[in-house]
Structures are given as structure tokens and as C-alpha cells.
Chains A and B, each alone.
Chain A
Amino acid sequence: MWRAFKKALLSASVIVLFALFAVQQRTHMASQPTTIALAVPTATAGLVVPSDRSPPQPRSDASSGAGIGSAAASSRPGFTASSSPTHTATTTPGTSPPSSHSTVVPTATTTRQPVTSSRPSPSSPSSSSSSSRTDAAASGGLQDGTYTGSSTDAHWGTVQVQAVVTNGQLSDVTFLQFPNHRSRSQAINQRAMPILVQEAIQSQRADVDIVTGATDTSDAFIQSLEAALTQAQS
């Protein structure tokens, strides 16, 4: 009985969330969303609401680098919302910026400044999910991590919603949209619901063979360098 009620509540909150961000995306050019007309999508929200399953388990023990993205979907529902729909419905418009491409992360487990701490050994990246599992169970039943709902067709295009759970609470919902849904369907297995893990970066001078990083050169620098070398050769 409670499960059915909880399921209905989850469905309602998910649809509210979806609708909120559906409308926000349509008016994304405006500075702030003001009045929000709840447009119920024609299809279901596309975020799989669990029936009688336990909350999803974020993957913290990936055994191989390749080929696991879609395999993760089989034993896990796509998305759960917290049991308090008012909480989720009111936080997101206030904290989310008009642009749908950014994520606001609460300060509890992350830092606002870039972290440059020296440690003898690298950090364990899965700590954000494994260490807070008991917290999540106590607070709202959500496991920390980032969840991406399966794609669904809304009447203006294909949409996909990504939810971030931090400290067991829904901390942000990001509205993903791709400019060309036909290309996106080529590139993305629509049955896959990729899991993302967040952490604060930790820095050190490590013992490495080689370093990967963005090149610290602007186009202008390259151009002037090439010109200088060309002159030097002549």
C-alpha cells in the first residue's frame, strides 16, 4: 500500500521535474524562468521509476575499462527521486541557472576552490559513493552519484534528464539536449543509462611516465611560433 503510494509520489515528482525542465529548456534564452506552465509530456517521462526495487547502486568497482557502459543498465532502474516532491520541485528553479549545461554541487562533500593538497598517494575516486552509502540510506534512500534518465521524445525534440545525488539528496537536475537527435541516436545506445561519479579533485606531484593535459597554447601563440620558426629556417 505504502509502496504504491510512494510509486505514485515518485511518478508525480518525476513528471513535475521533467516538466519543469522541459519548459525551462524552451525558454532558456530568458534570464530567469518566472511563471511555469506545467506541460505534461505526451509520453511518460522516460525516467524509469522503480517498482519494488531498492535504490540504484552506483558502480564503484568497475572491472574493466571497456564495454561496461551499457552492461550497467540491466540491473538498475534509471532514476529515483527523493520521497519529498516539494523539496525537489522548489530547489531546482532557485539554484539552477538559465543555461542547462552547468551543475551546482552542494558544499558538503565538495570544495568551491580548486583543491591543491599534497598527499602521498592518489585518492580513491569512488569514495564519494561508497562512504556516503549509509548516509544516503539514512537521509532519503538515494545513493550518491549522477543518474541519467533514458531519452524520451518530447514534442520539440529528444530530451534526456540527468540527476545528481549528493549526500543522499537530489542536488541538481540537468537537462541534456542534443542538437541533432538522429546523430545522437547513432552515437548513444538508448537503453544505456550511464552512471557518473563525482568527487573533489586532489592534487600531488606524482611519479608518472608521461602527463596528459590540455595544451597551454593559444592559436595565436602557435601561429607566431610557426612564423618565427619559418623565419629562422630561411
Chain B
Amino acid sequence: MSTGMTPTPGTLRVGFEKAMRETYERLTTGSSALDAPFRTMKDVFMLAACRGYQLGERRALDAKETPIHWEVFSSDRDVPILKAIAISATGDVAVLSRLDEVVAIAEEYANVGIRDIKSLLLDQYGQPLWSLVNMIRDDDANF
């Protein structure tokens, strides 16, 4: 969780478990949009964090790597969503002053979400892009 130190956005990095690197790569590497629909690992991470929140489960990370720079998260879309997840998880708006905790919460949700995404997109018959679309369209209840 929070280290108690507030890192500057310039130094902050976001990560995932080393064991899940292959999943991140499979979803982002390749010329076919149908097989590797995501352009960046950041997009995979955002989906994983949101999916983990949706499933209501968090899991602390083992053997972490942190390849994603904080700056690639858009300030008008990605960052507010991560902050909303953090506020909702802690019930406390003051968590916004602890950016490292916001990131840690997102990483823990993503650690669960990515496993679900792998199962739905990569381990099923069918092309990952269509499985992704189904995943998002199936979730009518959320809004």
C-alpha cells in the first residue's frame, strides 16, 4: 500500500506482476487489430484495473515490474477514473493527496482484472477484439 511518501508524477511508475508480462505483450504486440487490439500497455492496465474493481477483488503483487510511466495516463480520462476507484475503495477523498496509494490500489485491482481478461480474451475461441467488445457490451448493468 502507500509508502507514506508522495512521489512526484514525474518519477511515478505503474506496474504489474512479472508473471503477467506475457499477457500484456500478447494483447499489444502484432499488426492485427483483431488479435492484439490494444495499442499500449497503459490501455491494458486501465481495462484490468476497471475489471478488477468491477469484480470487487484486489490482490497484492508478487515480483513486480514497473514499465508504465505515470505521464502516459491521460489527465482528463484515465487519471480521474483511477482516482474514482481509489476514493470508492477507501471511502475517503483525502486519498487523492496520496498518489502512490491511488496507484497501488489500481495495481491491486489490475492484478485480479488481468487474469480475468486473459481468460476472456486469450483463452477462448474467437478473436480477442470481439471478445473484448462482448465483455464491454455485456456489462449493461453498470450504467
A binds B: no
